Each structure stands twice: as C-alpha cells, then as structure tokens.
Amino acid sequence: MGLFKAVFRCFLLPFVLLLSATSVFSADNGVEMLKKALAKHMPNTEITQVTESPVPGLYEVIVGAQVVYMDQNAQYMLDGDLVDLKSRKNHTEQAKSKIRLTAINALGEDNMLVYTPKQVDHTITVVTDIDCPYCRRLHSEMDQYMASNVKVRYIFMPLKGKSDFETTVSVWCAKDKNNALDLAKSGTDIETLDCDNPIKDHLALSRQIGIRGTPAIILESGEILPGYVPAAKLVQEMNKQNAAMIN
C-alpha cells in the first residue's frame, strides 16, 4: 500500500456514501476547496492533479501514479475504479493511462532500445527482461512487428539479480544495441560492457507505473496489457481500434 493510501485508509467508506454527498458549490470551487483541504491535512504530500469527476460532488485526485476519488472537504475517499455502467468507460483506467504515457514520454525514446520499421503505423512500449521466457517469445516475433509497421520500444526491468542487470547494461553499452539484444534474447553470451546507462531509470519507471512482471505491453493509448500477446493478434486489435476511431 502506498503512502497516500496508508494515510487515508481510515477514511475509506462505501461508494454509496460518496454518492450521497452534495455540494452547493460549482465544480471549480469544489476543486479549489479540495486542494486547500489536502494542503491543510497533508502538507507534505505533493498532489499531482485534482479534477472534477463525472459524479457530482466527487473529485479525481492523482498523487504520483495513484488515482483516488474524494469529496471537496477531503473527508471521504474512494479507492477503486470509477466505471460508467452505461458506456462501460473506466474513468480510473483512463487517468492511469495518461499517467503512464506522461512517465514514458518523460523518459524519452532516446533512453529506450527501439526497433523501427520503414513505415510506422503503431508504436508499442514493452517492459522486458532479457531472460524471461515470454519476453523472449515476444522478441522472436520482431520480424512480424516490423512487417506490420509496428515500432517496438523496450524499457528494461531486469528481475533476476546482478547477472541479469549486468547483461542488460552490456546490451545497452554495445555498439549495436539491437544486435546485442537479439543475441542475448537468443541465449547467446555477449561481451560484458559498462557505460552510462538508463537501466536504473527503467526500473524506477516500471515500478512507478505499476509493472509487476514482464513482459508488459503499453499501447499508444496508455492502456497496459500484462503478459505476452501474439504479435498477429495484437496488430489485428490495434488496427481494429484505429478503424473504430476513424469511423
């Protein structure tokens, strides 16, 4: 449990109580009131963003990578997904997707290992570990991704100790990073190298956006797909989503 959740856990109440809260203030006033209440009750916590939610009297509060919902007085808090049952839209997941994209963009593509096709129709960001079997299976389909015009950006999350971390650094420090990763993913030993590298930043980012295992695929929307997905199936789904947006 994160610090923010731990501090507020005593205020958790059923969702029905939050829905019963009423407000005589405008949404803007409610946002400002909540910001002041949070500054008073939690002066040492940096609030990333406070916005109105679709539910009257309920506000979305983002702290780091955490998304919760509160009333304007910071008296009640809901820790869970806010879903529109009519449209099936998950507002919480949408907010988390934006958080993921912001964090990934802050890292920057120059600090990722990237496979780029001649034409780019889609981009996926994959959190990977060199040694994990399903990560290797995903990587074995790189030719399919390239043929389908999908750019693949790797963020590394070495999970198997010092040796795994050192191999990951060696891949990054190689003159031809992509070739070194191809070899390492195939189980071939590569030259041990060291240099300035962003691998610790990769690990920090992975934890920040809630990655617990590899592979994890982040789509252009910020949606996360935990685990391996066959390339053909993923490309088909991305094409379908694009067609739906156009229509």
Structural domain span for residue 134? 110-246
Please choose, from the candidates 173, 219, 176, 171, the residue with its C-alpha nearest in 3D space to the C-alpha of residue 194: 173
| 121 and 203 inside one domain | yes
| 144 and 210 inside one domain | yes
pLDDT digits (tens, 9 = 90+) for 13-26: 444 444 444 444 45
Burial 219-234 (b: 16+ CB within 10 A, else e): beebbbeeebbebeeb
- Looking at the structure of the chain, the number of domains it has is 2
Looking at per-residue confidence, does 78 or 194 come out higher? 194
| 154 and 237 inside one domain | yes
Query: Comparing 47-51, 107-111, 177-181, which segment has the lowest mean pLDDT?
Result: 47-51
d(CA 41, CA 76): 13
User: What's residue 9's pLDDT?
Assistant: 43
| 237 and 120 inside one domain | yes
| 139 and 224 inside one domain | yes
Report phi then psi at 240, rounded to 5. Answer: -65, -45
Task: Tell me, yes or no, whether 90 lies in a domain.
Answer: no
User: What's residue 139's pLDDT?
Assistant: 98
For the chain, give the longest Cα–Cα distance. 67
| 172 and 74 inside one domain | no
User: Between 177-185 and 162-173, two packed helices, what is the crossing angle to 10 degrees?
Assistant: 150
Percent of the chain, pLDDT > 90?
66
Q: For the chain, what is the mean pLDDT?
A: 87
pLDDT digits (tens, 9 = 90+) for 104-163: 999 999 999 999 999 999 999 999 999 999 999 999 999 999 999 999 999 999 988 889
Given a cut of 70, is residue 214 above it in pLDDT? yes
| 185 and 225 inside one domain | yes
Task: Tell me, yes or no, whether 159 lies in a domain.
Answer: yes
**C-alpha dihedral (48, 106, 92, 157), degrees to nearest 10:** -120
Task: Tell me, yes or no, whether 73 lies in a domain.
Answer: yes
Q: Domain with 11 in it: what CATH number?
A: 3.10.450
Task: Tell which of 41, 68, 83 closes a domain.
Answer: 83
